[in-house]
Structure 1
Amino acid sequence: MAWICSTWQIERRYRPQTLVTDVRAVNPRLRLQLEINDAMAPDANVLVRRVVVHNLAANEREVRLFWHLDLDIVEQPFATTALYHPDTRTILIYKGHVWFLLGGYSEGEPLGLAQFTTGFRGSYRDAEDGWLNGQAVATGNVDAVGGINCQVPGRGSHTIYYWLLVAPGMEEAIAAHRQVAFRRPERLLDDAAVTMQGWLTAHAVDYQRLPAKLARLYEVSLLVIRSAIGHEGAIIASPDSTIERPSRDTYQYAWPRDGALVAHALDVAGHTEESHRFFRFCAEALSGSVPWLWQKYNPDGSRGSTWHAMFNPQLRAPQMQTQEDETALVIWALAEHAHYCPDGCVERLYTNWARNVADWLATYRRRDGLPRPSFNLWEESYGIWTFTTAAVVAGLNGAAAMAHAYGPEEEESRFRQAAQAIQEATASKLYDEKARRFITGLRIDEQGEHPVSDVDASLFGLWALGGFAPNDPRIVGTMQAIERELWVPTPIGGVARYPNDRYYQRDPALPGNPWIITTLWLAEWYLALGQLPRALELLNWVADRALPSGILPEQVDPHTGEPVSVSPLTWSHSAYALTIHQYLRVGRAAQQA
């Protein structure tokens, strides 16, 4: 008996051009090898798993496989019921209107589980002697185990299938189970692969200038992005739940900031239908009580958890619970979306809600032209931030472009003037002549405003969002400072966010952990300058940080390169996909020249 964990030698990959898993697990002690393929059915809420059991011994053996289910339905482990359904030989686990069903069979055998048990959490222990005691029902804080037996010839193999589905009731779950059996799980796996390949190749990319590993990572990145988009358009930051225990929360929310940047990458890649759904999601999520978007949302559009306070203890006063860059980036991305989608696709979105949001961006300013205080890009500090000013300028210029296309004319002028005023204030108040670079922003406390002089990787937004030219001496000085001061001085390398970044900090002597997105921002700048070799070095750095499956994390350990925080991070994959397109575009231009 051996649960699939550290005692197995495991290789995790995806089948080419799909997110169908291709896992190899070998246990030398048991003399077994498992080939595992998982995928979500393309048109149903069903996770299908195929396991090919290879017997590495010479003699025929009986092999028993168990699947342990420990589900926190609606994010809570309590008041849950697990029960065995004898007619279908399946296990049902439910709470309210959420019903999970575990089914399966051994190839050549009748449909259904060969063994089962339910119980209070810890029933997986029952499997460790190879037999399940068959407890038919449990309620409360429960789990369950289903088992399938198979005879595997010496030096031979045998295939089994499991599936886990979710439905709003028992009858619907049983009906869906019978549909899986009727359609055959192997066909569902094939359908999933074909659907993904068709979506991916609908907008072909010429990979001739790309090393093979970069091309493969681009394909995985687009598929990871696609998998993060809900039916209603929410773009989830990460499906990873491994951080839930230490933090008591996850990244399974839709941040407007992340979503805007992901949607833009989708547009550039040609997948405008998915990005359009995101903008509709934002329109629906916008609260009637405030003209801005909140920090993050649940996939259903309700407001997500937040650490943005409504009261500032340092100022001893209320503060606006807004992160203005999140709202501004959505307006900017919507204006960019208009260049990629069919004529008129943005007009209704603009007239129904984006113009009102842009009006707030234009008026939420101080007398000196800078935006009023809000939380920064990293969601940590309250003040006036240079990246935020760049995002607001981009959002207002985007709104002006949409007003020019859809009217009225006076709105275009007003948005342009507001953007110009903020741009001028940014250049005069957030640029350090002595250091010859922009500062991170202005921190506000009871004693007034204080320049935040430490360099921050987010300053790339000054040029990336169109406010300044990438070769402007002020930008050159800023980007050089980012590379000089934030490049992690270890063999791993990469760009940290800012000095003394304590989020998942691994080494206090370093500026911080290297992040995927910040390193790609540096690559984007080199591409904007036409410096392809350095950009390619940075793209290869990112590819080397990916897991064998092609999954990109948020950040990596500065000494080992191992993933830190969540994996995958949708934002990391979108930044990579966007940078690849820029690399190919710059490469084509250089070749033509």
Structure 2
Amino acid sequence: MEKKPYITEAIIGNSSMLVSLTKDGQAQRITWPNIDFPQHLNLFYTGIRGIEGSIKTFFLHDNVWKHQQAYISGTNILETISTLGEVGLSIRQLDFVVPDQDVYIRHFTFRNISNYPQNLDFVIYSDFMIDEKRRYQTVMFDEDTDSFVHYHREYGFAIGSDTHVKKYQCGATFKETNDGFLPGKRIANRSSAGIEYGPIHIPANGEHSLTLYIAAGKGSKGALESLKQVKKSSFDELYKQTVTYWHDYLDQANPIDFKDERGKNVYERSLLMFHLMNNKNGGFIAAPEVDEEYAYSGGYAYCWGRDAAYTATAYARAGYHERVRHFFRFASTLQEDNGSFEHRHYLDGLLAPSWGLQIDETGSILWGMHQFYSLTKDDSFIEEMWPTVEKAADFLTKFIDPVTHLPLPSMDIWEKREAEHFYSAAAVYGGLKGAADFADKQGYSEKARLYAKTAQAMKKTILQIGYNETSGSFFRGFHLRLDEPAYQNKKAQGKDVAMEYDQKGYPVYRQIRDDVIDICLLGLQVPFNMIDANDPKMKQTAATIDRLCRSKIIGGIERFPGDIYISGDPWIIATLWLAIYYARINEQLEAKKLYNWVIDHATELGLLAEQIDKVTGRPAWVLPLTWSHAMFILTVQEFKEKGIEI
């Protein structure tokens, strides 16, 4: 398989097909029939042969081209303009997925900007890895539709055009395609094909257009049927239909009065991006996958309850209530028999690769459900969700350390450490407070009192013994699990440590108080409202975070001192988290500075990464990150409520 780039410049899709592209307009990944899995594309190169009579193929990803890229305003239609100035050729490429059909449209307009006519051939090298497999692939040419079908088992992709095929070779290598050696083999038990369309005659200062259709369907027959259906409409009809769809979608949002056009663009792009990250069955993914081999991470194209709760809340506040209700219906199907919600899931509902229970996931989903009800006041939502809420809240009241009254040790928000984390406690607090309100409205007063009492006990512990006077911050948590070398090191430093044995007799090493300063401590206030924003301990914690976590090189807020994930850069969510908190304590100038930093570090397309490289100022990892866009929308909504100009 071709090594895929870790930075995606653009995405397009329709909630069942998701396509990732780079700045040269090259399609890198196609996931279908869900947006998380499986990924089917290895390579899809497009190019031109015949420039000035040359037999050389100029592929559009070659570095001889200059590229400009933008979304068509208010849509998920991507425009890439590639120019080869010395030979007088410009190619305008439009990429989009039809909203109600699983068809990827690629429309090319060749512009001859010279004073002499040009005769060209359009070349494609198409190499699929259907179902993420390199073996068992077949590609065949279908004479009836003048198209090519890549298929394996239940997945098929048909490639057709509004221009007739001139030459082809099923099973061609890239070299053969590049050299124009396409002798016409009709079928091959291979993954690749070389295709030529032409001749394309372009008069001096004239232009010529060609449309490609990549149609997905069940097996080869389904793909061909999908191709036949989409070709019943002209490109102009499909383009207009798609533009109208995205404009109508944006019109559903609650109006926001933006003074700054840059902020408006990022906000609209966030809403458009949400649709692409929201699967047809309601689930959200954290990001388009960029690390399939888990070289630097555990993967991103999964549905986390935590990320999705933030996203659903932002989506609801923006006005998309039906989509959010659809998500919570999906989330309800993921609940375990004991009432908890596991770490993360595939969008078909199956448990994804995991590294342990994160109790904040369960708390966050309950919190998100209550946030949704608080916005909509829809009592039918309580009726529908009550069985899920009751089961989860009952679990949370039992998953409690009887000594600290905090949730028992589980993995932290960053998925690296096991402890009784304060952020996790805040999420559980928010979830239980919401569940208490639901119980009260359902007439279960005893349960309402139990849920509220459990939540209040957590808050009492953190306020009474959870603040570190030495550092000027709340502790990050209690009973942090260590490996033996770290335990010995902490013991030598005079830290409070302890050793116990689990049920199988293995030693378990712990640090009693985790004193690392971490942006997640803002979760005690934003968004879960456990600690009052103006509580002196909360204000001092925020001040300490700002002092220790603000990047000395580029600005922006890092997660915690000494962070080594990727390159320890400032995160978009961390920066916006602090911006929201500052807005809540009426530090408007500081809030606005952080907000503007994020806008300044959005990409040219208005997308927000997970991290910003502290040296280059460019995205350092995962782009776009759904949670980053969710925090941006939540920040805008917070500013609107506080009267802060945006």
CA separation of 1:303 and 1:245: change in aligned 2, threshold 3 A: closer
1:474 maps to which residue? Answer: 537
**Corresponding residue to 2:518 among 452, 456, 468:** 456
Give, in whole Å, the separation in 2 of the partners of 1:469 and 1:249. Answer: 35
- Note if contact 1:240-1:568 (Cα within 8 Å) is conserved in structure 2: no
CA shift, 1:436, in A, is 2.6
1:297 maps to which residue? Answer: 345
2:185 maps to which residue? Answer: 135
- The C-alpha deviation readout for 1:232-271, integer Å capped at 9, x for no partner, is 1110111143664735963111111111110000111010
Letter in 1 for 2:313: H
**Corresponding residue to 2:240 among 154, 173, 190:** 190
CA separation of 1:546 and 1:66: change in aligned 2, threshold 3 A: farther
Q: Does 1:48 align with 2:90?
A: no
Give, in whole Å, the separation in 1 of the partners of 2:638 and 2:128. Answer: 42
- The C-alpha deviation readout for 1:49-88, integer Å capped at 9, x for no partner, is 1111111222111222233333222222221111111111
Q: Does 1:587 align with 2:643?
A: yes
- Note if contact 1:376-1:385 (Cα within 8 Å) is conserved in structure 2: yes
Give, in whole Å, the separation in 2 of the partners of 1:225 and 1:15. Answer: 17
**Corresponding residue to 1:60 among 106, 109, 117:** 117
Give, in whole Å, the separation in 2 of the partners of 1:23 and 1:568. Answer: 18
CA separation of 1:247 and 1:79: change in aligned 2, threshold 3 A: farther
1:91 maps to which residue? Answer: 148
Give, in whole Å, the separation in 2 of the partners of 1:277 and 1:579. Answer: 24
Q: Does 1:402 align with 2:438?
A: yes
CA shift, 1:331, in A, is 0.5
CA shift, 1:345, in A, is 3.5
- Note if contact 2:459-2:531 (Cα within 8 Å) is conserved in structure 1: no
1:435 maps to which residue? Answer: 471
CA shift, 1:344, in A, is 2.4
Counterpart mapping for 1:348-363 below 5 A: 348-363=383-398
CA separation of 1:30 and 1:242: change in aligned 2, threshold 3 A: farther
Give, in whole Å, the separation in 1 of the partners of 2:114 and 2:294. Answer: 40
- The C-alpha deviation readout for 1:543-587, integer Å capped at 9, x for no partner, is 121111111111111010111221111111111111111112211
CA separation of 1:245 and 1:381: change in aligned 2, threshold 3 A: closer
- Note if contact 1:486-1:499 (Cα within 8 Å) is conserved in structure 2: yes
Q: Does 1:3 align with 2:59?
A: yes
CA shift, 1:9, in A, is 1.4
> Relative to structure 2, which stretch is displaced further, 436-445 or 562-571?
436-445
Give, in whole Å, the separation in 2 of the partners of 1:135 and 1:580. Answer: 57
**Corresponding residue to 2:414 among 364, 375, 378:** 378
* Aligned-residue CA RMSD (Å): 1.9
CA separation of 1:70 and 1:356: change in aligned 2, threshold 3 A: same
Give, in whole Å, the separation in 1 of the partners of 2:383 and 2:193. Answer: 49
CA shift, 1:475, in A, is 0.9
1:498 maps to which residue? Answer: 560
Equivalent residues, number: 560
CA shift, 1:489, in A, is 0.7
**Corresponding residue to 1:343 among 368, 378, 387:** 378
**Corresponding residue to 2:586 among 500, 514, 530:** 530
CA shift, 1:342, in A, is 5.7
CA shift, 1:130, in A, is 4.5
- Note if contact 1:42-1:192 (Cα within 8 Å) is conserved in structure 2: yes
Give, in whole Å, the separation in 2 of the partners of 1:154 and 1:113. Answer: 24
CA shift, 1:431, in A, is 1.3
Letter in 1 for 2:511: E
- Note if contact 1:487-1:494 (Cα within 8 Å) is conserved in structure 2: yes
CA shift, 1:457, in A, is 0.7
- The C-alpha deviation readout for 1:106-154, integer Å capped at 9, x for no partner, is 4xxxxx433333327xx232232346333322225x2223332221112
Q: Show structure 2 runs of 5+ residues with no match.
A: 1-56, 483-507
- Note if contact 2:125-2:177 (Cα within 8 Å) is conserved in structure 1: no
- Note if contact 2:571-2:612 (Cα within 8 Å) is conserved in structure 1: yes
> Relative to structure 2, which stretch is displaced further, 433-442 or 212-221?
433-442
CA shift, 1:410, in A, is 1.1
Give, in whole Å, the separation in 2 of the partners of 1:328 and 1:482. Answer: 24
CA shift, 1:357, in A, is 0.6
- Note if contact 2:80-2:92 (Cα within 8 Å) is conserved in structure 1: yes
1:113 maps to which residue? Answer: 165
- The C-alpha deviation readout for 1:373-403, integer Å capped at 9, x for no partner, is 0000011111111110110100100111111
CA separation of 1:393 and 1:95: change in aligned 2, threshold 3 A: same
1:576 maps to which residue? Answer: 632
2:201 maps to which residue? Answer: 151
CA shift, 1:323, in A, is 0.4
CA shift, 1:30, in A, is 4.1
1:332 maps to which residue? Answer: 367
Give, in whole Å, the separation in 2 of the partners of 1:19 and 1:487. Answer: 34
Give, in whole Å, the separation in 2 of the partners of 1:286 and 1:133. Answer: 56
CA separation of 1:105 and 1:249: change in aligned 2, threshold 3 A: farther
2:14 maps to which residue? Answer: none
CA shift, 1:16, in A, is 0.9
1:255 maps to which residue? Answer: 304
**Corresponding residue to 1:126 among 176, 180, 184:** 176
1:556 maps to which residue? Answer: 612
Q: Does 1:207 align with 2:243?
A: no
Letter in 1 for 2:201: Q
Give, in whole Å, the separation in 1 of the partners of 2:289 and 2:147. Answer: 28
2:90 maps to which residue? Answer: 33
2:16 maps to which residue? Answer: none
Letter in 2 for 1:280: R
> Relative to structure 2, which stretch is displaced further, 324-333 or 466-475?
466-475
Give, in whole Å, the separation in 2 of the partners of 1:245 and 1:3. Answer: 30
CA shift, 1:469, in A, is 1.6
- Note if contact 2:217-2:225 (Cα within 8 Å) is conserved in structure 1: no
Give, in whole Å, the separation in 2 of the partners of 1:66 and 1:454. Answer: 56
**Corresponding residue to 2:457 among 410, 415, 421:** 421
Give, in whole Å, the separation in 2 of the partners of 1:74 and 1:553. Answer: 27
Secondary structure of the 1:278 match is: helix
- Note if contact 1:228-1:235 (Cα within 8 Å) is conserved in structure 2: yes
- Note if contact 2:98-2:105 (Cα within 8 Å) is conserved in structure 1: yes
CA separation of 1:165 and 1:342: change in aligned 2, threshold 3 A: farther
- Note if contact 1:243-1:565 (Cα within 8 Å) is conserved in structure 2: no
Letter in 1 for 2:118: R
Give, in whole Å, the separation in 2 of the partners of 1:534 and 1:297. Answer: 37
CA separation of 1:99 and 1:388: change in aligned 2, threshold 3 A: same
Letter in 2 for 1:501: D
Q: Show structure 1 runs of 5+ residues with no match.
A: 107-111, 309-320, 506-511
CA shift, 1:181, in A, is 1.2
Identity %: 26
CA separation of 1:397 and 1:159: change in aligned 2, threshold 3 A: same
- The C-alpha deviation readout for 1:190-238, integer Å capped at 9, x for no partner, is 2111111111112242324x31000011000111011111111110111
Give, in whole Å, the separation in 2 of the partners of 1:58 and 1:128. Answer: 28
Letter in 1 for 2:590: R
**Corresponding residue to 2:267 among 199, 218, 228:** 218
- Note if contact 1:37-1:51 (Cα within 8 Å) is conserved in structure 2: yes
Give, in whole Å, the separation in 2 of the partners of 1:263 and 1:331. Answer: 12
Q: Does 1:519 align with 2:575?
A: yes
Question: Normalized against structure 1, the TM-score is what?
Answer: 0.91
Secondary structure of the 2:349 match is: coil
- The C-alpha deviation readout for 1:501-527, integer Å capped at 9, x for no partner, is 11111xxxxxx2011110110111111
> Relative to structure 2, which stretch is displaced further, 214-223 or 424-433?
424-433
2:211 maps to which residue? Answer: 161
Letter in 1 for 2:469: E
CA separation of 1:513 and 1:41: change in aligned 2, threshold 3 A: same
